[in-house]
Structure 1
């Protein structure tokens, strides 16, 4: 048997330990390759050049994270195999041969993961492309193509990554002595101690960080973001390394709890395991927080922008013709021609702009007058229950455009306004987005309106269509026919907007961002779960021996399952619960920044990830208990 065959067989013999490492590496390669397929897709380049740049950026993030992930994983594997390496050295293997064997093993696993990741990506490429068409809401299809550029990029990048990681593992092994390798993880462990001062500091840092994040508002969130993040990260580190051990040691001193049933076995080495795995738990908590916050933010922004669009826009198509627009009749005819075959309602609102000298200091630009009947008809057709008005004689209602920049308290509810020698008695004022010309108006009695002279006429046309989402294509066509820009729909004499098309563009833009961010978040989350898997299985041999000795003094299968379930649950969910809390606080801070509730998106994201983690836990628990019991049965 050659040395290369020996290294290959060694990988097969340790397939239980290497399985999670191989699958996680394969997943990283797969996601990187999927991004590359989209980034190099000719159709996506033509339709969304900005998305391809984002995809390449996401690839860079995944690549850097994969490097850290693989390096830390390899360190855990080498630690679990120390005794095996020590026996090989005792049997005559030189240190150089040992390092060469580990190097070949890692390159072999890396090559297999790269080939498998690219292969699975090719198999599911068409399905993934079809899914992207739906998520991005593309009009053009994304046909399958042979992604040679993506294949070469993925192979080159990850083979280089695994070779570099292999050199790092050789360097890690270089300083180990034979006696350390032989002892492996069997060195007796002292009772872990926790600093009371650092434990209190952990609680204080987290409390201060949460307090600041939950109380700052508006732009203050931006200034508080970096210091709060640093405070919470430091607090989280001390939480796992000090506070958790302190709490466990305090619980062990409670005799009523410690000596109850199997709690003696449960708590006996829980502090040791928390201390040993503190860095892993810290890393898992931070990585999971990043995944929760990033995806929750993206989903929240999508909800925020699409809901804001619906709150502001009440009509499917809006056309505002300003004074001097000679194309008004022609444009309205074009819109009606495009709407032919659809059930729609046309609602014109004629605005008579007049001069109000007395308003020069307060509201000089707001000189529009609209009639009671046209306003009521428009309000009735809107998708909201807008206020209906009933006026008599010279009574008027002040209608101002409602936005976040205007404080309603600054608007006068009642006043007397004089124009053209006539007085208007303003009896009320209210804000609305019904007329989206971003100005404010006086609603007056029809008879009063008809007697107004010396004005500049502006006309607002609203077209209401039942299925407004179906007008996206029509809206894009009208942009071209009306000769306005796709970015704003404005010209010197008129403005035009279509709710269906704007909704489509907004969803498509955020769909692209979500598509990029979702995969990054999933990679982080899978990596976090994998780290927990690695740590649990790295200690499996030691746990098997411990429970083998305990079972000889009468530990039943039911008690064994209960102890392992509680212990695994604590080790598995503590970092995830901390990450959920961190993520919820971060999303609450974003809510305070934008003055928009992200409860729906937060619950959706955190709930989904929590559910996945619970399913993952039961899968790990089943296999872990099965391996412990299988060892005890032999």
Structure 2
């Protein structure tokens, strides 16, 4: 028999294992490639609005790499573990180590090549489908689907590195283990290295303590802005406790069950079998729990942010369009402005006069204070306020939401200007958002009487400016009009001398004088949020599917040993119905324990982060999004369970 004939006969004999192993690797290539179609998309990389997204995409990318490394390595380990007996038998018949290496390299090389070809093909098809469905549903139709050499190159390279590391480990274990160990590998079960109920109780206590400390110490009154270190420390402690609990919790549970003898003896077989499974699958259960937690929390958070984009934009932009006009820049007549918004008529156009005065701080060297003065009449028209102010007094108007405005300010202590020649008294603070944020203007204004404004302007001002605030019929349909306005202002500005302001040297003229609009911010938020939501959905689908594959691999990789175990139980009097109940109970725990635990931890993190927005009860949409994502996740897992249960019963011939 030639070497090639031997390889072919072995492949036919183990075709089920080969096919399943090939599919796992093919899926891994497909996962890499589908993610690469997003990460290396030209629109995402090149378009200015989306530049910040590139770094954000690295976060789920790292999660994908970690998962795939574990996924490929575990699939390969399961594939080769039950074949070591074959290699041992071949070595007893005279096959050399060189021949074993050649055999492994040939079969794995063929599988790798086939996996890459089919994975790339499937990835191209399904990534196109994902773009059509998710990008359009997320309002991201302007991000086109395309393929590039980078997508193919990085996907193949990432897979090959992980794949050949796994093959190298297998070669080492096969060649450097004793021949006896290889021959009896299919009859040796995994040993339980440690059994400590006390350690299991400690793990449960550490998880509970970490969750409580995270809730009470993150975003509390003494730390309103949150603390990344607090989050990191208690998250690490929680994950550490979680691993210990998963490893030893069944030992702890058995110890508790022994105190109730009738229950313990009635469930003895079930409990001891689960203890073995939990210790054998600790790493997988940990991975599935963390995947579920990250998937549900990350997707819920992004969905909440994405769905609240419109509300946030409206709050940040009191007016649909706003721009600053100086003596020489952004000059456009009312007639020209109305012509631009002819199809989407202007409903309101408010002009706010102001001037800036800069002065060195008397106490801090090289610090320049900026004072922006606004006449009282313009402030009253802007806010609808009836506030009054006398000469020599000023109102401090902080154009910001109250929750974001705080701390000491120089404007509330009275002002001494023009080298002490002008003294003004503080009267009152008004904190509310009335003007869109723009690069040229600050959020702090000093409101003075109209006559006082004229005197100060003549004495202190180097030039008066105006803020134009515009509302149109429908701001969501104003994208083309806003772009036309920007273009018109740029054309007009090019005919005037360059705008020089030493205090804004870090900004270009175009950036400094650019209009602010709801639609531009809305599109930016929808673009960035839509892409992140798309990526999180993709990662979620991957993790949903991957968690099932990992559990499926382990449950069905030992099917022959399980069949022998249940056959022996049947011989000593355990009925077929009792065996069916035992298998169903084990599968329920294995398929639902980790997902439910991950869901619970995700909900805890959602409650913690919701404190920043007033609490979970004040944000019902946050809770609703969580229920939706978690419900879908558990529904899919339920489908996995019934499929696995039916197949398990059929393969064990218990139906």
- TM-score, normalization by structure 1: 0.77
Q: Does 1:118 align with 2:125?
A: no
Confirm or deny: 8 A CA contact 1:206 1:236 kept in the other structure: yes
Q: Indicate the residue corresponding to 2:366 in structure 1.
A: none
Q: 1:397 to 1:188 in 2, by over 3 A?
A: closer
- 1:174 maps to which residue? 175
CA distance in 2, matches of 1:92, 1:610: 57
CA distance in 2, matches of 1:53, 1:223: 21
Alignment of 1:145-544 (within 5 A): 147-148=148-149, 150-155=151-156, 157-159=158-160, 161-184=162-185, 186-187=187-188, 194-214=195-215, 215-217=217-219, 218=223, 221-260=227-266, 263-292=267-296, 294-296=298-300, 298-299=302-303, 302=306, 307-321=311-325, 325-327=327-329, 330=332, 332-351=334-353, 368=373, 389=385, 399-403=397-401, 404-407=403-406, 430-436=430-436, 438-439=442-443, 454=455, 456=457, 459-483=466-490, 496-516=515-535, 518-520=537-539, 522-544=541-563
Alpha-carbon distance change, 293 to 501 in structure 1, aligned in 2, over 3 angstroms: same
Matched residue of 2:319: which SS? coil
Shift in CA distance, 139/253, structure 1 to aligned 2, threshold 3 Å = closer
Note if contact 1:316-1:464 (Cα within 8 Å) is conserved in structure 2: yes
Q: Displacement of 1:500 after TM fit?
A: 0.3
Q: How many corresponding residue pairs? A: 612
State the Cα distance separating 1:533 from its structure 2 match: 1.8
Structure 2 unpaired stretches of 5+: 364-368, 415-420, 458-463, 494-498, 500-505
**Does residue 31 in structure 1 map to residue 31 in structure 2?**
yes
**CA distance 1:137–1:257, shift in 2 (3 Å):** same
Deviation for aligned residue 1:505: 1.7
Work out whether residues 398 and 440 of structure 1, in 8 Å CA contact, stay in contact via their aligned partners in 2: yes
Q: Is the 8 A contact 1:315 1:463 kept in 2?
A: yes
Q: For the structure 1 residues 366 and 182, does the alpha-carbon distance in structure 2 shift closer, same or farther, using more than 3 Å as the test?
A: same
Measured in 2, the distance between the counterparts of 1:351 and 1:604 equals 45
Q: Cα RMSD over matched residues?
A: 5.0
In the TM superposition, what whole-angstrom CA distance separates every residue of 1:397-443 from its partner, at most 9, and x where no partner exists? 87532344423999999x9xxxx9999996x8653111345445688
Q: State the secondary structure of the residue aligned to 2:332.
A: helix
- Alpha-carbon contact 1:252-1:258 (below 8 Å) kept: yes
* 1:58 to partner: Cα distance: 7.1
Change (3 A) 1:565 1:143: closer
Per-residue deviation, 1:345: 0.9
Query: 1 CA distance for matches of 2:299 and 2:408?
Result: 37
What does residue 503 of structure 2 align with? none
Q: Which deviates further from its counterpart, 106-115 or 91-100?
A: 91-100
What residue is the counterpart of 1:382 in the other structure?
none
Tell me: CA distance 1:338–1:8, structure 2 relative to 1, closer, same or farther (3 Å): farther
**Does residue 632 of structure 1 match 2:653?**
yes
**Unpaired stretches in structure 1, ≥5 consecutive residues:** 380-387
How far residue 249 of structure 1 moved from its aligned partner, in angstroms, is 3.7
CA distance in 1, matches of 2:193, 2:118: 43
The Cα shift of 1:335 comes to: 3.4
- Residue 616 of structure 1 is matched in structure 2 by 637
| TM-score for the superposition, normalised by structure 2 | 0.75
What pairs up with 1:53-132 in 2 under 5 angstroms? 62=64, 65-82=67-84, 97-98=99-100, 100-124=102-126, 126-130=128-132
Mapped partners of 1:164, 1:473: distance in 2: 53
Q: Give the drift of 1:78.
A: 2.8
Give the equivalent residue in structure 1 for 2:418: none
Show CA shifts across 1:134-181 (max 9, x none): 378567563656x45544554455345434432221112234444434
State the Cα distance separating 1:67 from its structure 2 match.
3.5
How far off is 1:338 after superposition? 1.8
Paired with 1:354 and 1:622, the residues of 2 have a C-alpha distance of 71
Seen in structure 2, the aligned counterparts of structure 1 residues 90 and 631 have a Cα distance that, compared at 3 Å, is farther
| C-alpha distance 412-244 of structure 1, shift in aligned 2 (>3 A) | farther
How far apart, CA to CA, are the structure 2 residues paired with 1:548 and 1:27? 35
2:417 corresponds in structure 1 to none
